[in-house]
Structure 1
Amino acid sequence: MSVKPEPASALFAGPFALATVSAPDGPAFPALVTPEGRVLDLRSALGEERLTTLAVLDRWETLLPRLHALAGDSGLPRTPLTDLRVHAPVEPRQVFQSGANYRQHVIDLHLAHRAPGDERPDDERRAEAAEIMDRRAAEDLPYVFTGLPSAITGPYDDVVLPAWAEQPDWELELAVVIGRPAHQVSVADAPRYVAGYTIANDLTDRATVFRRDMPQIGTDWLRSKNAPGFTPLGPWIVPAESVADPDDLRVTLKLNGETMQDESTKDMIFKVARMVSYASRTARLLPGDVVLTGSPSGNGMHWGRLLRDGDVMEGTVTGLGTQRTRCVAEGPA
């Protein structure tokens, strides 16, 4: 089962996006999608029958001018997007996730967790938290950890809620897609290594974030974030040149039609370039890798309402399109 995309006058910003699609019973293939929802099979357009989306990103700098030319060629055969299944736009080799990266979100968490005996008014505690955020942005480092590519699923696929997940929660995020090998790149140079942007919903089971049996160890991201399908990705990759400012995009998540998250990436403590640069200080980023930039305020824990069977999440980021996923409770083993 999947939630089909709805037709729209313009699905995304720019002249084209890169996607991975398939006919109902066919293999997945890389495609160029127009804002009007017309799809060009890049295997035939580029004359490479075994071409994958990851292979396109491996040659991103070389192929980008060709993709522009293909997008402008109205004589090429195209298929309506509504006739195809949309998969996650890429199968990355590596996934980098970040936490506590939205100023208002972290301030809200600070206010929600009042230390015993702290009787100060909320205004004073909020000002304290804001000062801490300013200092963190100026002096500290992003908080980045790794996820599993096997957790990725398509932008319209059902999300299975594992039977063991007691508190499954949503976290809509701007996702950065790498277009060149990057290692120890500077903040100033980092944008040159970005192929484009897409949408990710970095689901988390809040009940398993911290190990109860080993509290001294800290967070358990394997258990809490990496169940199959816990990272809906897509629907497509919009080239970086079509996104005027990734640090000024609206991130909005609706649950069953009700807005739960609605914040600008302006509120990120560490901006996109700094996040990519920081991840590259340790790891070698590869084309097709995905860097998630954190989630704004408005998660389920904030509302006291976690995900359950039948819920439909609709996530939108300015200029990147919309993903819609339905939650399905895991059946008996």
Structure 2
Amino acid sequence: MSVKPAPASNPAPASAPFTGPFALATLSASGGPAIPALVTPDEHVVDLRAALGDERLTVRRLLEDWQAVLPRLRSLAGDGSAQHRPLAEFRVHAPVEPRQVFQSGANYRQHVIDLHVAHKAPGDDRPEAERRAEAAEIMDRRAAQNLPYVFTGLPSAITGPYDEVVLPAWAEQPDWELELAAVIGRPAYRVSVEEALEHVAGYTIANDLTDRATVFRRDMPQIGTDWLRSKNAPGFTPLGPWIVPAESLAHPGDLRLTLKLNGETMQDESTKDMIFGVARLVSYASQSAQLLPGDLVLTGSPAGNGMHRGRLLRDGDVMDGSVTGLGAQRTRCVAEATP
């Protein structure tokens, strides 16, 4: 995980409010080690290693004992005697280091229709309206068949919510994908949809960058997508700033996701447009793999990506992403230095 600070020319937002009495973060101060922290809405910090008496504590270890530790965190959030420091004294890192990252593809109806039109097959000269209707029919069929599309990403792609994002020299079409991410708090294996949310500790923000030019293999189209190449460059998943407990977020199925590029709104959509909700995605992923505390389940990205708009990421671009109740992130794109 990158711990590079945000550059002075790209400061963190002055305020990144969240819903509820507290959120979890991973922070560092004055070149010191990264620590798990409780952050309050008025932007004060409690060092959880000191407060809970464990010098080896991390956010992931907190999540491994989530049900037992949650009451203590509630108590600390309301304890006026706990030692608080201003958030401004700290550098903000990605809030957790997951062992596994599960990513949902094709999960926002309008987004998939847009991409279906943008990625038309060679020689397909049908009118756009016809191709949109075809994509809509495909989405309706997927919803009726109850079949999400989930694949895995690499934890090494994660970076902090205010870090620079290096655009690799080989990436011809780097694009943004703001997403709601569920954070697992209890092991989940073959859980039902009805049980799934009991295994979610909280939620955070992810920007799942993708190089559109390498999504599909050119040398052998029959083998399909290449998510390793297109999505897993170092820093391609800015995460955070906080993990907001699930109990503080009443309706994850009705949150607003907004991404601005250099101040211009590109994505602005509700999670209502998701084809499959958080519970369905967690349950579906758990049928094949065991989800572990600290793991992430990314829920897909809404309409408004660069591929659809004909404007992809380049050196110097600044992305501001926010999700209702989860705060905001700001990342600046930097072209990879050529040898």
Alignment of 1:113-124 (within 5 A): 116=123, 119=126, 122=129
Deviations 1:195-252 (A, max 9, x none): 0000000001111111211222111111111111000000010000111111100011
Matched, 1:4 2:40: no
1:1-333 to 2 correspondences below 5 Å: 1-2=5-6, 3-8=10-15, 11-112=17-118, 116=123, 119=126, 122=129, 125-333=131-339
**Deviation string for 1:161-218 (max 9, x for gaps)?**
1111111110000000000000000001000000000000000111111121122211
Query: If the length of structure 1 is used for normalisation, what is the TM-score?
Result: 0.96
Measured in 2, the distance between the counterparts of 1:108 and 1:268 equals: 14
Secondary structure, counterpart of 2:287 in structure 1: helix
Q: Secondary structure at the match of 2:213?
A: helix
Letter in 2 for 1:146: T
Shift of 1:106: 1.4
Letter in 2 for 1:258: E
SS in structure 2 of the partner of residue 223 of structure 1? helix
Following superposition, the deviation at residue 79 of structure 1 comes to: 1.0
| 1:271-307 superposed Cα distances (whole Å, 9 cap, x missing partner) | 1100000000000000000010000111110111111
- Aligned-partner Cα distance in 1 for 2:335–2:124: 41
The CA deviation at 1:7 is: 2.8
CA pair 151-189 structure 1, distance change in 2 beyond 3 A: same
Using the aligned pairs only, state the percent identity.
Answer: 77
Residue 130 of structure 1 and its aligned partner are, at CA, apart by 3.0
Q: Residue 217 and residue 117 in structure 1: after superposition, are their counterparts in 2 closer, same or farther (change >3 A)?
A: closer
Check conservation: 1:5, 1:82, Cα contact below 8 A.
no
Unpaired runs of 5+ in structure 1?
none
TM-score, with structure 2 as normaliser: 0.94
For structure 2, the residue ranges without an aligned partner over 5 or more in a row are none
Q: After alignment, is 147-156 or 73-82 more displaced?
A: 73-82
Partners of 1:181 and 1:284 within 8 A in 2: yes
Offset at 1:133?
Answer: 1.9
Compute the displacement of 1:114 (Å).
Answer: 5.6
| RMSD across aligned positions (CA) | 1.5
Give the whole-Å Cα distance in 2 for the aligned partners of 1:249 and 1:79.
30
Mapped to 1, the partners of 2:48 and 2:241 lie a distance apart of 17
Mapped partners of 2:116, 2:172: distance in 1: 23
Relative distance call for 1:84 and 1:277 in structure 2 (3 A) is same
Residues paired across the two proteins, number: 331
Give the drift of 1:112. Answer: 4.0
> Which letter maps to 1:229?
G
CA contact (8 A) 1:53 1:89 kept: yes
Deviation at 1:125, TM superposition (A): 5.0
Equivalent AA in structure 2 for residue 75 of structure 1: S
The residue type equivalent to 2:12 in the other structure is P
Task: Classify 1:113/1:217 alpha carbon distance in 2 versus 1 (closer, same or farther; 3 Å).
Answer: closer
Measure the CA separation in 2 of the matches of 1:178 and 1:265.
19
Give the aligned residue type for 1:110. H
Q: Which moved more, 1:266-275 or 1:212-221?
A: 212-221
